[in-house]
Structure 1
């Protein structure tokens, strides 16, 4: 009987454990999660979007696994009674100078096999009556789901299939065949690291030098007050800047009917730094002294300064929202929490753009799995497990 230990009880780790049990019913599969509930970090703090796969270079892991993953996620939600909705999305150009980028995005989407349609400003307002734009890309297959609910359903299925999800246990050491936690020692034949914000540190603990460093970026959200939610029917996004992995402040009607605005993107002062006051000096020092981060900061300091300004100024944040829906003002917004993105950065200061999975003889390390990892999680799991079986 093969023994697997999966480190990290977010949606990717849980999906991997489930896939292992589906493919190998006799395997011993244990998920180790330091928090007291599954999906406590990136899984439970994102915008809940079922991404269609518009943004990713054709042929990349992100493109292939997002396309496969969204279909698998819908099937999973239907099988396990997890609410979801296919709302469609508008990616809007608010100025004529953005139309070229929008057309390039249309070409990329079609290259990924996604049905999209360029629409005029008038047609866009038929879909979203309050939107402001000079043109837009309509993506009808984009949807919304509560990934926290998905994580709970995955954890429940793992246990039904005979696996274990051990919560509240932090990994303290990794040996050649043993994971040591704060509660026990777990023997393994294969280790899978899905630790998200700490995935590079877990890799180093396991004796694997990570090729890139995780840098945490906080995304802060607001939400529309209840009497203004009728201004948004589905999802409204700006045309993204291709230099960055962040999609810009956007509007998302959530599965519960609330409408979230955001996120921005600022450096988090701790790996789990969900607010400015959460500072871990050691983690912050490690970020600031990393050559890759220093090169990134020198290259894009103006962009970073703009994001910090928007974080500290409710007026600036509201102005970004009003570019999409001009009727919205600062008075229409209220705080709605934040999330932290685990973004891998190479030593040369470039962002790792694709999913990054490093394999050794007895270990698999998922070292970059930001958005659309939640959408893609079931496909990522199948990819990892099938590649391990073929090795």
Structure 2
């Protein structure tokens, strides 16, 4: 296959996974990241979970790429000495009303090839002695990892393979024609045969800059985390998740023992007033107007008023947040948690108000735009990169890691 020049926009885990893969097979790669560091936004602010994939519709991109990504991400971590662990997790039904939804998850897990089994309350407490559960789904292959470390390793490997990785390079203008693309940025410009957009929270705007009408609009949702105080960390051994609302793409407030031994609790999901709004005090008028003025968001909001209001209350009240955790671990109270960081999820919404529930990759001549890659995109990053390479005609066969 002939070598081509490729410009990639976005220095999160996905953009750098694409850069590493394409440079490894001989393509000329330039990557542009507007921040001064890698993994500055979604990659660096997530819960660090290597997902196994019981939630996703069988046959969907998420289901297929998460199952494969679970394996390839662990293999990548093992090969490169990146801190990780595979403790497995419990998805718990705390009352009988949640059992039917738990059974649906169990069926999806089987369909998606996820190593898992339904267990009773007594066995659930063998894994998590303090958990509240009438039944649970034990998912064996769920892990935890340091995703920023993965991203830095991908950047190192891409550089070794000859990729030109630029930080502090904010894209300002994109000119595209039948011969290729020209990207003007704050550090200069780059010409290439092909553009790959992995800009995450700004992916729809990059697509528009390139002359493509994005099929979805990015609306930012902030996920806020708490952390268990050191003396209460022994209440959680691994990962404890609730049975999620099937109408929403969020997995619900959960408990995760991290690589460093801390236990994170969260996230909730509230509308962020800026695409990089990690707290209520950060407001970007353009971002807010774009979200509130988008017909798709207004339709979605009308259909979920109660849920949205409850999330705002939980954001503002530590007591209410702690109450959500106590459904999973009754011994947890308000005094046991302290505020930790927050992340912003780039949620893609269609004009009809529906939430994009699968990865969305939109192509145009000499362009590939990743317009929806929320969780489990970090888990699936190596697999999504392989798919993008194939879609772009830059690779004809999978590569082992």
TM-score by length of 1: 0.98
User: Which residue in the other structure is 1:385 paired with?
Assistant: 389
Gaps of 5+ in 1: none
Q: Deviations over 1:41-93 (max 9, x none)?
A: 00000000000011111110001111111111111111111010001100000
Give matches, 1:209-228, under 5 Å.
209-228=213-232
Asked if 1:346 corresponds to 2:356, the answer is no
User: Which residue in the other structure is 2:21 paired with?
Assistant: 19
SS at match of 2:137: strand
Instruction: Tell me how far 1:21 sits from its aligned partner.
Output: 1.5
Give matches, 1:1-391, under 5 Å.
1-22=3-24, 24-25=25-26, 27-176=27-176, 177-389=181-393
Instruction: Tell me how far 1:280 sits from its aligned partner.
Output: 0.5
Cα distance in 1 for residues equivalent to 2:147 and 2:30:
21
Q: Deviations over 1:292-349 (max 9, x none)?
A: 0000011101100000000001000000011100111111101111000000000000
User: Which residue in the other structure is 2:399 paired with?
Assistant: none
Cα distance in 1 for residues equivalent to 2:277 and 2:75:
34
Cα RMSD for the two superposed structures: 0.9
Cα distance in 1 for residues equivalent to 2:117 and 2:59:
21
SS at match of 1:65: helix
**Residues matched between the structures, number:** 389
SS at match of 1:279: coil
Cα distance in 2 for residues equivalent to 1:278 and 1:321:
27
Instruction: Tell me how far 1:249 sits from its aligned partner.
Output: 0.4
SS at match of 2:141: coil
Cα distance in 2 for residues equivalent to 1:257 and 1:38:
24
Gaps of 5+ in 2: 397-401
Instruction: Tell me how far 1:387 sits from its aligned partner.
Output: 2.5
SS at match of 1:175: strand
Instruction: Tell me how far 1:4 sits from its aligned partner.
Output: 0.5
Cα distance in 2 for residues equivalent to 1:102 and 1:62:
19
TM-score by length of 2: 0.96
SS at match of 1:75: helix
Cα distance in 2 for residues equivalent to 1:82 and 1:30:
25
Cα distance in 2 for residues equivalent to 1:263 and 1:387:
33
Cα distance in 2 for residues equivalent to 1:42 and 1:189:
28
Cα distance in 2 for residues equivalent to 1:269 and 1:173:
25
Instruction: Tell me how far 1:251 sits from its aligned partner.
Output: 0.1
SS at match of 1:373: coil
Cα distance in 2 for residues equivalent to 1:256 and 1:49:
13
SS at match of 2:378: helix
SS at match of 2:92: strand
Cα distance in 2 for residues equivalent to 1:21 and 1:75:
20
Instruction: Tell me how far 1:96 sits from its aligned partner.
Output: 0.4
Instruction: Tell me how far 1:361 sits from its aligned partner.
Output: 1.8
Cα distance in 1 for residues equivalent to 2:124 and 2:273:
39
SS at match of 1:277: coil
Cα distance in 2 for residues equivalent to 1:132 and 1:385:
45
